[in-house]
Structure 1
Amino acid sequence: MTERHWGAGSELGERLWEDKKFIEAEDITANDFSPETDLLKHFAMAGGVTHEEVLLLLASPDDIEEALRVSGIRHNGTDRPSLTRLLGWSDRNRRLKVMSRSADPESIIRDLEQGAQGIGLIRGEDALQHGLLQEVYSAWLNSRSAEKSALLRRRLIMLWVTYWVSVFQAAAGARCAISLLQDARLTNTMDLREAQDAQLESLFRAMEQCGAEGIDCHLELLAVRPAHADEFISIHNFIEEVAEQTLMDQKRFVRIRYGALLGEGMSPSAAAEIARLADVLVFDCEGIGNSASSDEAGQKVSAFSEMISRIRRTKPQLTLRINGVGTADLRMVYRQGIHEVCCHPSELAAIRITGARLEMRRRCSMILD
C-alpha cells in the first residue's frame, strides 16, 4: 500500500475520532463480524481512537510494517501512547511468543521493557565482534606461546564472565538462548572445542555469580547445526563435562535447557532424531532469501516445512522457534504450527501487532464457520 493510501487512512482516523455515530452504529452491514471494527469501538468508548490506531487496525496484516513506518510511530525506544495501547492489546490477544535477537545488555533491557518475551538467540560469537573481548580473543587465537596463551585464556574468560553476567542481569529472569561459539578461523575440531570450553566456563561462572546475587538465569544452550543425533549427544556430553568441572557440587542448582540451532537443508529424519533428545529447537532463517515481496513471503519458513512436519510427528510438544523472520513470514509461521519467533529489535512492534491481527481474524473466521 502506498503512502497516499495511508494518508487516506489518516483522514478516516480523523472522521472516526469525531463521529460518535461510528461508536453507536448498530447496522455496519459487511463489518458486522469484523473484529477490527469491534476493537475500534472498544477503544473509542474507552477514551477515543487515534489516527495511528485506526491506521494499524484497518490495515491489512501484511501492511502493518509499512503502516508503522508511514505513521512515524515505529518502536524506536520511545513510548508512544497509541502504539503502547495497541501493543498491550496485541500481547493479551496473541499466542505467538515474540522474542528479541539482541545481544548487548542495553538493548536487551530496552527490548524486554518494550514487550519482548525473552532473548530467542544470542550467537556464541556475538560478544567477540568488538571491544576488548574481540582484542583479547584474537590475541589468544594468534598466540604461539603456551604461557602467553594460558594467560590470555584466563583474561578472556574473566571478560566473558563480565559480559554474561550483564546479559543475565539485563534479562532479569527471562529466557536466554545462547548458541555455542562458531568461528571460521577454527578449522581444527580441537581448537574449536577449546574455544567453546572457554565460552562454557565463562557462562557457568557467570550463572554461579548471578545465583549468589539472587538473579534467576533461564539458559537455553544450543548446539549449532549438529548433523545427526550422535553429534548432538556428543555436544551435550561435552557441555555437561564442562559444567561439572566448573560448578562441581553447585551444578545441581543450575537450570539449563538443551537444544539445537538448525539450518536449511538438514535431513528431516536426522532433525527428528535430535528432537527426541532436545528441549528446544531453533530454526535459523537468517541469510535465507528476502521475504520482502509478496511472491517470496513465507519462503524462509517453508524451507523448514518438511523438517518441522517430521519433528511434530516425533515429539508434538517440543518447543520450536524460528529466528530471523519478518511480518511477511508470519502466515507461514502459523501454518507450520510454530508459536515462538525471534526477530531483530526493529521488527518487534510490527510482528507483535501483525501476529495478534492474524490470530484475531482466524478466531473470527472459526466463529463464522
Structure 2
Amino acid sequence: MRDKLGQDNVRTGREYPFSSGTAAEKPADTESLYLLGSSRVLRPAFLVLPEGRENRLSVREPGTTAAGPCLVRSEDWLKQADPLFAAWLASGDGQEADLALRRIYYRLRDESAALLGSADGEWAAVSLPAVPELDSRPDRLAELQDILLEALFNALAERQREGGDCRLDLLAPHPASAHEFAAAREFIETVAEQTLGHRFAAACHIGALIAPGISPAAAEEIVRIADFLVLDGAADGSAPEESAAADLVYAAEGILAAVRGVKPAAVVLAAGGSAAAALADLYRIGLNGIFCGAEHRTEALLRAACLVWMDRHESADPATGWL
C-alpha cells in the first residue's frame, strides 16, 4: 500500500476524513458551521459519492481531487468473470480449481489496474466478495478473497511505481459481530503485509459493510475497531424500494445512536438505491453521506444541496447574516 500516504489527513478524534467539491459538500477537512438559536453547532459535511464501476469518472478536471471514495462491490468483478467463476465454483478442489482461480486472478488484476488508473481510482473503497454459495466453505471463500486482495495490492504497487497517487480502502462484507470483523481485518492486513510489506501500516482504512438488520449493539462493537461503516441498503434486494428506504432509515437511527455513543466522530454512510431514496431522512438523522449509482446521483446531489442550503439559511444569524 502507500507508504503512509494520506496519514497526514488523520486528525485526533476524526476518522476517515473526506474532501468534496459539490454544492452539497464542503472542502477537505472542514465542517459546516450552523447556528441553532444562540448556540453554535458543528455539522459534518454530507457527501453524495459514486457507487459502481460504471459510475467512475473517466476524466478529472486539472487541479481537482476526489470528492471521496468510489464504492466498488467486488461481486461486480466476479459477474464480469462469470464463466470462470462458475467453473471455479463447480470444480471443487484440486488442480482444475487452482487453474480456474488463477485465471480469475488475472481478470481481477486487469480490473484492479483499470480501477486504480481511472480518475476516481485515486480513491476507491472496495468490498471483499460475499458469496452465499461458499457459506459452508470458508476455506474456499478465503482463497477467493485472497486473490482479490493480491490483485488490488499488486495493481496499487504498480500504479505507485508509475508515479500515480491513489488511495485504496477496503470493506469487510456483512460481519455479524466484532469478532467476525476483527478476523476479516486481520486477514486483510496479513495479505497486505505479505504482498506489500510494512508499507501497508496506517495507509489503508478498513471499514465494515453492514446489513441494516444488524443489531445496534453489534454495530457498536464493530465500530470500536473499524475505520468507518457503510450501511448496505442493497442487502435486501427483494423488498420494494419505498419499503426498503423506510427500513433503512429505521435501522440507521438505532445503529447511528449506538455507534456515536462510543465513537462520536465515527463516519457512517449508507449505500444502495434505498439510500438515495431515503436521502432526506438520512441527512436529518446525521449520517455523513451516501453512495449511489449513476441513475440516482444527479437527483441525490440536487436534493442534498437543497437540504444543506435550507439548513444553513434557517440557521443564519439574522442580525449578522453570519453562518
Q: Which moved more, 1:170-179 or 1:344-353?
A: 170-179
Give the deviation of 1:111 after TM superposition: 9.0
Compute the RMSD of aligned alpha carbons: 2.9
Is contact 1:119-1:342 (8 Å) kept?
Answer: no
Structure 2 unmatched runs, 5+: 1-20, 33-44, 319-323
Residue 203 of structure 1 aligns with an amino acid whose one-letter code is: L
Secondary structure of the structure 2 residue equivalent to 1:200: helix
TM score, norm. by length of structure 2:
0.76
Structure 1 unmatched runs, 5+: 1-86
- Aligned counterparts of 1:306 and 1:256: Cα–Cα separation in 2: 28
Q: Classify 1:334/1:172 alpha carbon distance in 2 versus 1 (closer, same or farther; 3 Å).
A: closer
Which residue of the partner structure matches residue 336 of structure 1? 285
Would you say 1:257 and 2:205 are equivalent positions?
A: yes
Secondary structure of the structure 2 residue equivalent to 1:270: helix
Secondary structure of the structure 2 residue equivalent to 1:191: helix
Which residue of the partner structure matches residue 21 of structure 1? none
Would you say 1:185 and 2:133 are equivalent positions?
A: yes
Counting only pairs closer than 5 Å after superposition, residues 42-57 of structure 1 correspond to structure 2 as none
Number of aligned residue pairs: give it: 276
Would you say 1:102 and 2:52 are equivalent positions?
A: yes
Give the deviation of 1:90 after TM superposition: 5.1
Q: Which moved more, 1:335-344 or 1:318-327?
A: 318-327
Instruction: Select which of 146, 149, 154 maps to 1:205.
Output: 154
Instruction: Select which of 66, 69, 76 maps to 1:126.
Output: 76
- Aligned counterparts of 2:212 and 2:261: Cα–Cα separation in 1: 19
Is contact 2:125-2:170 (8 Å) kept?
Answer: yes
Give the deviation of 1:303 after TM superposition: 2.3
Q: Which moved more, 1:185-194 or 1:133-142?
A: 133-142
- Aligned counterparts of 2:120 and 2:292: Cα–Cα separation in 1: 20
Which residue of the partner structure matches residue 191 of structure 2? 242
Is contact 2:70-2:124 (8 Å) kept?
Answer: yes
Give the deviation of 1:346 after TM superposition: 1.7
Q: Classify 1:111/1:179 alpha carbon distance in 2 versus 1 (closer, same or farther; 3 Å).
A: farther
Is contact 2:58-2:120 (8 Å) kept?
Answer: no
Give the deviation of 1:279 after TM superposition: 0.7
Secondary structure of the structure 1 residue equivalent to 2:56: helix
Counting only pairs closer than 5 Å after superposition, residues 1-369 of structure 1 correspond to structure 2 as 89=23, 95-104=45-54, 107-110=55-58, 117-130=67-80, 133-144=81-92, 146-172=94-120, 174-187=122-135, 188-252=137-201, 255-286=203-234, 287=236, 289-292=239-242, 298-324=246-272, 325=274, 328-367=277-316
Structure with more strand by fraction: 2
Is contact 2:270-2:291 (8 Å) kept?
Answer: yes
TM score, norm. by length of structure 1:
0.67
- Aligned counterparts of 1:308 and 1:352: Cα–Cα separation in 2: 22
Q: Classify 1:166/1:234 alpha carbon distance in 2 versus 1 (closer, same or farther; 3 Å).
A: same
Is contact 1:291-1:300 (8 Å) kept?
Answer: no
Task: Kindly provide the CA deviation profile for residues 8-57 of structure 1, in whole angstroms up to 9, marking residues without a partner as x.
Answer: xxxxxxxxxxxxxxxxxxxxxxxxxxxxxxxxxxxxxxxxxxxxxxxxxx
Is contact 2:24-2:48 (8 Å) kept?
Answer: no
Q: Which has the higher contact order (CA 8 A, sep 6+)?
A: 2
Give the deviation of 1:305 after TM superposition: 1.1
Q: Classify 1:223/1:301 alpha carbon distance in 2 versus 1 (closer, same or farther; 3 Å).
A: same
Secondary structure of the structure 2 residue equivalent to 1:215: coil
Give the deviation of 1:149 after TM superposition: 2.6
- Aligned counterparts of 1:90 and 1:339: Cα–Cα separation in 2: 11
Task: Kindly provide the CA deviation profile for residues 227-272 of structure 1, in whole angstroms up to 9, marking residues without a partner as x.
Answer: 11111111111111111222235545x8210110011221111111
- Aligned counterparts of 2:225 and 2:103: Cα–Cα separation in 1: 35
Give the deviation of 1:366 after TM superposition: 2.2
- Aligned counterparts of 1:89 and 1:276: Cα–Cα separation in 2: 32
Secondary structure of the structure 2 residue equivalent to 1:122: strand
